[in-house]
Every structure is written in structure tokens, then in C-alpha cells.
Amino acid sequence: MKAPTASFADRQAAANEARMAMLAKLKPKPTVTDPNFIPREARKAAEREKLRQERERAKDAARAAAAEAEAARRLALLNDEEAQLALRRDERKQRKAEAKAAARAKRESRRASG
């Protein structure tokens, strides 16, 4: 005896179901988004802001250190008598040199006009 064969309608229905199953595989599935998702732009902006603040703190610390070093240098200079004498000596030498240059210029202008 022969096994009953599927009719044309049965074969067509089975083919249609197979086609529909293949199409269902290709349909986009609903995506599940992370509730804690942070967009790339926002993440990058936050990183840039953090880096900017760190650099600003580093600059402020460097400025404060430089100001403290300058204050310490000035205090040491004020307390150092030899440095005070050297400063006065240098100022006196500079004044004398300026006076000498002014006298020379005056002398030369008299010679040129006379």
C-alpha cells in the first residue's frame, strides 16, 4: 500500500508557512535600551570638563607655588644684609653711570654747537 501523499493545497500551505517563518526571522525585533545609557557626546563632554577642571587646578597650584617661592625669595632677600648692600651698590653704580652718560652727552652737544 502507498502512503498517502500530501495534496497540492497542503504543500502550498506548508511552503507559505515556511516563507512566513523566514520573513519573521528578518523582521526587526524590539530593542531593549539600557536605562543608564549615556550618549557618547555627553560622555565625551563630561570627560573634557573633568580634564579642564584638573588642568585648572594644576595651574592654580603652580601659580600658588610660584607666588610662595617669590615671597620666600623676597623675604630671604630682605633678611640678607649682604644682598641689601649689593642692591644698594648696584643702584649707586647705575645712577653714576646714568649721570656720567648725561654729562658726556651734554659735553658733546656743547662741542658740536660751539
pLDDT of residue 79: 78
Instruction: State the total domains in the chain.
Output: 2
Same domain (yes/no): 91, 110: yes
CA dist list (Å): 46 to 14, 41, 49, 58, 95: 57, 9, 5, 18, 59
My answer on whether 74 and 87 are in the same domain is no
- DSSP H or E segment with residue 11: helix 8-26
The H or E element containing residue 44 is: helix 40-79
At residue 2, the pLDDT reads: 54
Determine the pLDDT at residue 42: 92
Q: Are residues 86 and 59 in the same domain?
A: no
Q: Indicate whether 106 belongs to any domain.
A: yes
Domain of 57 in residue numbering reads as 39-79
Residues 60 and 88 in one domain: no
Low-confidence ranges of the chain (pLDDT < 70): 1-5, 114
The pTM score is 0.40
Q: In the prediction, which pLDDT does 73 show? A: 86
Q: How far apart are CA 79 and CA 73, in angstroms?
A: 10
